Amino acid sequence: MKAALTIDTFDRNGITCLGETYVNSPFKLMNITEDRKGRGLHLMVMSSSPGILDGDEYHISIRVAENCRLQLHTQSYQRLFNMQHGAEQNMDICVEKGASFVYLPHPCVPHEQSIFKAKNTIRLQENSSLIWGEILTCGRKLNGEVFDYAKYHSVTDIYLEDKLIIKENLFMQPSLINPGLLGQMEGFTHQGSMVVIGGVRREESGERRNTEEIGVRSQEEYRERMRDGVYEYLSSIEGISFGVSACQGEGMIVRILGYKAEQLMDIFKHIATMIQ
């Protein structure tokens, strides 16, 4: 099945509104914004399909207009079913000047012999910000399907003003490379990565706070404090291995290995609340 989802936004008196939108089966889109007077727009992508099936092609296009704030939610875990040929998903995201985009989807659960390829292209502009997450599980662990999928390949390219600043390339083929080996996942079953791009924290009004208001001398000092705070938080959690790295675009990359999908998702959500 070939499916498409297109989302556009616009700013109306400081409030982000849903613009031109197109969806076809199996996609559905719902506005779940609780505070309709707040600056941000919250949308949930739903699907009438139980998961991604063999031969599926999904194309998702999102534009977050200047000074808008959009957070995209998913309805449930993304299941990849048994396949012979494979499925793919392409996401193209444009975050314009002064805009913000948050996407922390539910974990992906690849079933036995599933084949999946994802390509994500994200374009940021001046003073725009991004929170982007991806969690991959070992499969249906309780069913005994641990790394029984055939192939999973996800590539994420992030551009800042047309300059490539981050390239994430996650390739897993358990039959070719044992995930349990040294230098691979080393006994862990779940992995997650989170990219944060942006400067000093924004208020609900959408205005950027200056450094004096939060008691730091510079944005660089603020970013260091932010990374230190995330590192301290992750250090308090048992059962995971993690790393926090600085990156271009006034941001950081967080990588986590663990054993529970829900735990990793809760961690990413908590980090998002720390820095939004």
Mean per-residue pLDDT for 126-144?
A: 94
**Beta carbons within 10 angstroms of residue 204's beta carbon:** 12
- Give 224 or 129, the one with higher predicted confidence: 129
In the prediction, which pLDDT does 248 show? 79
Which tens digit of pLDDT belongs to each residue from 202-255? 444 444 444 454 455 566 777 788 899 999 999 999 999 999 999 876 789 999
Q: Is the pLDDT of residue 157 over 90?
A: yes
- Which CA distances in Å does 150 have to 100, 129, 265? 35, 35, 24
Instruction: Write down the mean pLDDT value for the chain.
Output: 91
Please list, in sequence order, all residues whose beta carbon lies within 8 angstroms of the beta carbon of residue 272, skipping any fewer than 6 positions away.
102, 104, 131
Domains of the chain by residue range: 2-275
Which tens digit of pLDDT belongs to each residue from 12-40? 999 999 999 999 999 999 999 998 888 99
Which tens digit of pLDDT belongs to each residue from 89-106? 999 999 999 999 999 999
- Give 143 or 123, the one with higher predicted confidence: 123
In the prediction, which pLDDT does 82 show? 96
Q: Is the pLDDT of residue 64 over 60?
A: yes
Whether the model pTM is above 0.95: no
Which DSSP state fits 181? S
Q: Which helix (H) or strand (E) holds 270?
A: helix 261-275
Which tens digit of pLDDT belongs to each residue from 165-202? 999 999 999 999 999 898 899 999 999 999 999 854 44
Q: Which helix (H) or strand (E) holds 60?
A: strand 57-64
Q: Which helix (H) or strand (E) holds 236?
A: none
In the prediction, which pLDDT does 204 show? 42
Distance CA(137)–CA(139), nearest Å, equals 5
Q: Is the pLDDT of residue 270 over 80?
A: yes
Mean per-residue pLDDT for 133-140?
A: 97
Q: Is the pLDDT of residue 163 over 50?
A: yes
SS3 234: helix
In the prediction, which pLDDT does 208 show? 47
